[in-house]
Chains A and B, each alone.
Chain A
Amino acid sequence: MAQPRPARSRALLGDRLAPAVSFVVAVQAVAAVFFIGDALADIRNAGLSSHIAIEAVIALALLAGVAVGALQVRRMWKEGRRRQAALAVAAGALSEVAAQRFREWRLTPAEADVAIFALKGFDVAEIASLRGSAAGTVRAQLARVYEKAGVNSRSALATLFLEDLMTTPLTSREAP
């Protein structure tokens, strides 16, 4: 089946950033081992000096960077999961609302299908090819959906659902 189109651009900044920050953290961890090793070797060879003190500071800074970066990754990852869960709740709620409305309006199964595709943003030709029916049929079914719902356009139809969702607050499962 064709996937609904919009789901593409949902990756938000944090989702793309977390891997990048993780990568930096890993590189820093490796670099920290190298620097600590270098500093220890220098201390063994030449004793303490200002040069080595600077190296030690750098090594500590790298370790601190690893810790801070790791915590940042954890924060972004949790945030991403939370958003995903919220989206799942919203999606579940929306489909519940849709099913409820469709029952109230006494849509036939075919009309309900067409209505869902219309809400997802497919145009008449696309719906027709998805359902394997003629464009004229789809247009007629869509007209009946609008009539039963008491609206006269696709956007008005969509607004009905949005209204429902905005007046009933979504209950999120848990927000750690």
Chain B
Amino acid sequence: MSGAVHAPRRWDPLVRITHWGIAAAVVINRLVTEGGSLAHVWIGLALAALLALRLGWGFVGPVEARFTSFPPSPRRAVEHVRDILAGRHVSHRSHNPLGALMVYALWASLAVVIASGIAMTGFPPKVHAEGGERPAAASTVLVDEDEDAGEGEGEGEGEAGGESGEIAEEVHEIAANLLLVLAALHLVGVAFETRRGGRQIVLAMIGGKGKIKEP
């Protein structure tokens, strides 16, 4: 009996909650709500709050959650790829270097999505249509979607008022698509790491059981 007890990496509850909250908001806003609808806008703002919370946590949270634990470093990412190719398994206290790059990419595209969304609706979103320079068509629609918004998940070419509105909408859609691509890559990365190193990486984000595991 070795008796050595290893505490597997486990994300703290704030990281887990913001992670799954943001993931849920992205999925809901993509699949369920209609772009420009009141629900879409408020879910987006809730997402922004969760992202802000996570970013603040990156300064004051536990060591593993801090930015300093996973600096964006292409050099270390390359090293990490070498480790993978050589079949070495180096354990990282926080995100592995490739994962760290993915995290920052996801955050950056989330920030662009949020910023362009706010650029379209203003903050606070113009719930009260009076006085807004862009009167909402229906009481629940904040951003005018195209009349024939039958295509896709309601993300047709909207015609927001003004040049800047159109640019914001364009940016919003591109960034949202980029976000989905990154999220898909993120899932691939997790699946790959799971095959390489076991289910620990998933359990760390789910939490709960498996706090102390014998090797």
Contact = CB atoms under 8 A, between A and B. Distances in A.
B125 A37 contact: yes
A22 B42 contact: no
Contacts of B17: 19, 22-23, 26
A70 B111 CA distance: 22
B10 to A, nearest CB: 9
Interface in A25-63: 25-26, 29-30, 32-34, 36-38, 40-41, 44-45
Contacts of B45: 33-34, 37
Given A15-B211, A73-B12, A85-B7, 20 more contacts: A10-B211, A11-B211, A19-B13, A19-B17, A19-B207, A26-B21, A30-B50, A33-B48, A37-B125, A40-B124, A70-B57, A78-B62, A81-B7, A81-B62, A84-B7, A84-B212, A88-B5, A88-B6, A94-B3, A95-B2
B124 A26 contact: no
B61 A74 contact: yes
A134 interface: no
Contacts of B62: 74, 77-78, 81
Nearest to B14: A22
A97 to B, nearest CB: 10
Contacts of B124: 36-38, 40-41
Most buried by B among A30, A32, A38, A85: A30
A18 B62 CA distance: 13
Interface string B104-147: 00000000000000000001111110110000000000000000
Nearest to B41: A37
B57 A96 contact: no
B14 A95 contact: no
A22 to B, nearest CB: 4
Interface string A73-103: 1100110010011011001101110010000
Secondary structure call for the A interface:
helix
A120 B61 CA distance: 37
B14 A25 contact: yes
Contacts of A73: 12-14
A70 B123 contact: no
The bracket for how many chain B residues form the interface is 35 or more
B60 A74 contact: yes
Interface of A: 7, 10-11, 15, 18-19, 21-23, 25-26, 29-30, 32-34, 36-38, 40-41, 44-45, 66, 70-71, 73-74, 77-78, 81, 84-85, 87-88, 91-92, 94-96, 99, 116
Contacts of A23: 13, 17
Given A22-B14, A77-B13, A116 B1 contact: yes
Given A26-B53, A29-B50, A32-B49, A70 B2 contact: no
B7 A88 contact: yes
B46 interface: yes
B18 interface: yes
A176 B12 CA distance: 17
Contacts of B128: 41, 45
Nearest to B214: A3
B56 interface: yes
Contact of B12 (A37, A77, A92, A95): A77
A29 B12 contact: no
Most buried by A among B3, B21, B56, B128: B3
A35 to B, nearest CB: 10
B4 interface: yes
B13 A33 contact: no
B27 interface: no
